[in-house]
Amino acid sequence: MELTLQLKLLPTAEQTISLRAVMMRFNEACNWLAAQAFAQQCTNKLTLQRLYYHELRTLFHLPSQMVVRCLARVAGTYRRDKTICPTFRPDAAMPYDQRIMRFDGLDHVSLTTLQGRVLVAFLIGPYHRQRFDAYAPRQCHLVVREDGQWFLLVVVQVPDGTPIPPTDFLGVDLGVVHLATTSDGTTHSGGAMEACRTRYQTYRRRLQRAAHVAQMDGKRPKNIRRALKRTARREARFRKDTNHCISKKLVAAATGNGHGIALEDLTYIRTRTRFRKPQRATMSGWAFAQLRFFVEYKAALAGIPVVLIDPRNTSRACSACGHIAKANRPSQARFSCQQCGYTTHADFNAAQNIRSRARVNAPLVAGASGAMPLGMGWQYASDKLRHFSASSH
Ligand SMILES: [Zn+2]
């Protein structure tokens, strides 16, 4: 089975110049060769090599193996559509193979440039770091994003039966008004649950008052006590059903797309001031804990990872531009960025941030775009649970 890993490169300023130079030169060479191939109507790599190898070497001063890659790429692209002459952007992804690149441990890769080899540091997520030795890298592409970040996309062969890591994450924001809001824009309303809670609360108060009156009359309000207990059980059952239902939908939404699920790390939840005080008081902690637990175990059953992200500022940061300000959140429901003007539902913005944070350093990406370097760390919920159970015994 083949996977594409995305390694975030951390080139120095000097290395960036070298990488950009070789990338531009390579694409320039590809454009030149494409024009020759198109003029000759030739899609055969070996013929092109025979005709243009030396010219490519002298015109563009590319290392020999890069010329070979240039020939293969132009022939391959041209073969796909013979009616047009292929063109390549100056910053188009550049192929690297084993002869012009080499991994040096788990944090550096040596890449051939016009000035010789450069040793560039890279980041890899914990999941793939542990398994990287077992992967057999096949083919790599050097990629620069519009925001100037460099990546190496590495196609690796992994043994069959390896659990497939996610290509993306479904960010899930848990709240009061909306029990769960996801980064794909789905809202699972807590309206029914909240109405139920209020109804039961009113009923409970009435019962308590009746019990009090009965006690004053010197009676033992046994029936009322029993009714109170029954009410509490019924409410718990209703919440449990709701939580089952929502968690099932969340996991199904992620599974359907091959995504993992990203949640806020529970250990931070007490320190955040996301909710106004009255709300915090009425919201019951166990109901939330239960929803999280249901999501985690249903995800585990479905074989998809749950990552926990640092929740700091998820509700205050703009998911469009990253600007963090308290004023970005003018009301419980609304998000309005003071810097870029992006306006959306507050919970949806938070879910977007949760997803972005999970994607940062998320090792595996197919066609990554728009991932924002907002977050700090993240970890798999299962790793955390394991750690937790290990340390608590
Ligand atoms: Zn903004």
Query: Is pLDDT of 19 > 90?
Result: yes
Between CA 7 and CA 377 the distance in angstroms is: 16
The per-residue pLDDT for range 243-269, each reduced to its tens digit, is: 888 999 999 988 877 788 998 876 655
Average pLDDT over residues 2-9: 76
Query: Is pLDDT of 270 > 70?
Result: no
Between CA 253 and CA 196 the distance in angstroms is: 26
Distance 340 CA to ligand 1 centre (A): 4
Average pLDDT over residues 305-332: 88
Distance 192 CA to ligand 1 centre (A): 33
Distance 184 CA to ligand 1 centre (A): 19
- Nearest alpha carbon to residue 117 among 49, 57, 60, 65: 65
Distance 323 CA to ligand 1 centre (A): 5
Between CA 38 and CA 77 the distance in angstroms is: 11
Distance 342 CA to ligand 1 centre (A): 5
- Residue 120 main-chain phi, psi, to 5 deg: -105, 135
Torsion sign over Cα 74, 79, 83, 88: negative
Distance 183 CA to ligand 1 centre (A): 17
Residue 390 — very low, low, confident or very high, per pLDDT cuts 50/70/90? very low
Distance 341 CA to ligand 1 centre (A): 6
Between CA 139 and CA 253 the distance in angstroms is: 32
Give the rounded distance of the alpha carbon of 162 from its chain centre: 20
pTM higher than the cut 0.75: no
Query: Is pLDDT of 383 > 60?
Result: no
pLDDT at 26: 96
Query: Is pLDDT of 296 > 60?
Result: yes
Between CA 200 and CA 106 the distance in angstroms is: 57
Distance 319 CA to ligand 1 centre (A): 7
The per-residue pLDDT for range 229-239, each reduced to its tens digit, is: 888 888 888 88
CA atoms within 13 A on the CB side of 300: 11
The per-residue pLDDT for range 32-76, each reduced to its tens digit, is: 999 999 999 999 999 999 999 999 999 999 999 999 999 999 999
Distance 356 CA to ligand 1 centre (A): 14
Pairing state of beta strands 136-144 and 150-157? antiparallel
The per-residue pLDDT for range 181-229, each reduced to its tens digit, is: 999 888 887 666 667 777 877 888 888 888 888 888 888 778 888 888 8
**In the chain, what are the domains?**
2-157 (no CATH), 169-191+238-391 (3.30.420)
pLDDT at 385: 37
Tokens representing 369 are 């775009």
Distance 328 CA to ligand 1 centre (A): 8
Distance 343 CA to ligand 1 centre (A): 8
Query: Is pLDDT of 389 > 60?
Result: no
Distance 339 CA to ligand 1 centre (A): 5
- Nearest alpha carbon to residue 166 among 328, 19, 304, 41: 304
Distance 188 CA to ligand 1 centre (A): 25
The residue behind tokens 């003007």 is: 341
pLDDT at 285: 67
Burial-class residue 78 by CB neighbours within 10 Å (0-12, 13-18, 19+).
Answer: buried
The per-residue pLDDT for range 347-377, each reduced to its tens digit, is: 999 999 999 888 875 544 332 222 322 222 3
pLDDT at 378: 38
The per-residue pLDDT for range 92-124, each reduced to its tens digit, is: 889 998 889 998 888 899 999 999 999 999 887
Residue 380 — very low, low, confident or very high, per pLDDT cuts 50/70/90? very low
Distance 337 CA to ligand 1 centre (A): 5
- Other CB atoms within a 10 A radius of the CB of residue 221 amount to 18
pLDDT at 64: 94
The better pLDDT of the pair 183, 286 is held by 183
Question: CA-CA distances (angstroms) from residue 227 to 205, 224, 235, 237?
Answer: 12, 5, 12, 15
The per-residue pLDDT for range 139-180, each reduced to its tens digit, is: 788 988 777 889 888 877 776 655 656 668 999 998 766 788
Average pLDDT over residues 125-130: 69
Pairing state of beta strands 343-345 and 136-144? unpaired
Between CA 247 and CA 299 the distance in angstroms is: 9
